[in-house]
Amino acid sequence: MLKQDLVELYEKFNLELPDEPYTKNELLYGLEESNITTETLKKFNGKSEDESIGVEPRYAGVDKGSVVVVMRRKNKSFSYGKHSFSDTKPYVVMTDAEAKELVNSVKGFSIASAEEIKRFYKK
C-alpha cells in the first residue's frame, strides 16, 4: 500500500494525521492503534461515502442556538454526522449541542471567533 493510500484511509476513517513529515510506518502504526484492521477495511469498502456538501458558514447569518466550528486538523477532510469539513472549507455551522460534543470528543476542533472567520474568507 502506498503512503498516499494510507493518508486517504486516515481521511475516510476521520483519523488525525501525525505531524509532518510522517513515514509510511507511522501511518500504519496509527491505523493499528485505531483498530483499523483488514476486516474493517473490507466492511468499509462496501459502504458508500457521505457526499454531503455541508453548510457555508456566514457568521452574521448564524441562527440563534448555532455556532461555527473550525477544523484545525491537518486532514484534507473530516465528516461529523451530517457535517463535512475540508482543508478548503474548515468552518462549519452546527448547533450548540453538536459543537460541544465535537469539540469535547475529537482533537483538532474549536469554536471559531468572528474575527478568524472574517480573516479566512477575506483571502
Q: Is the pLDDT of residue 114 over 60?
A: yes
- For range 58-69, the mean pLDDT: 66
Contact between 65 and 95 under an 8 Å Cβ cutoff? The reply is yes
- For range 53-72, the mean pLDDT: 62
C-alpha cell of residue 82:
451530517
For 12, other C-beta atoms within 10 Å of its C-beta total 16
In the chain, helix, strand, coil percent, each to 5? 40, 20, 40
**pTM score of the predicted model:** 0.52
For 68, other C-beta atoms within 10 Å of its C-beta total 20
Residue 87 makes CB contacts below 8 A (sequence gap 6+) with 75, 76, 77
pLDDT band at residue 63 under the 50/70/90 scheme: low
Position 71 scores a pLDDT of: 94
Residue 108 makes CB contacts below 8 A (sequence gap 6+) with 16, 71, 72, 73
The residue ranges of every structural domain in the chain are 3-45, 59-121
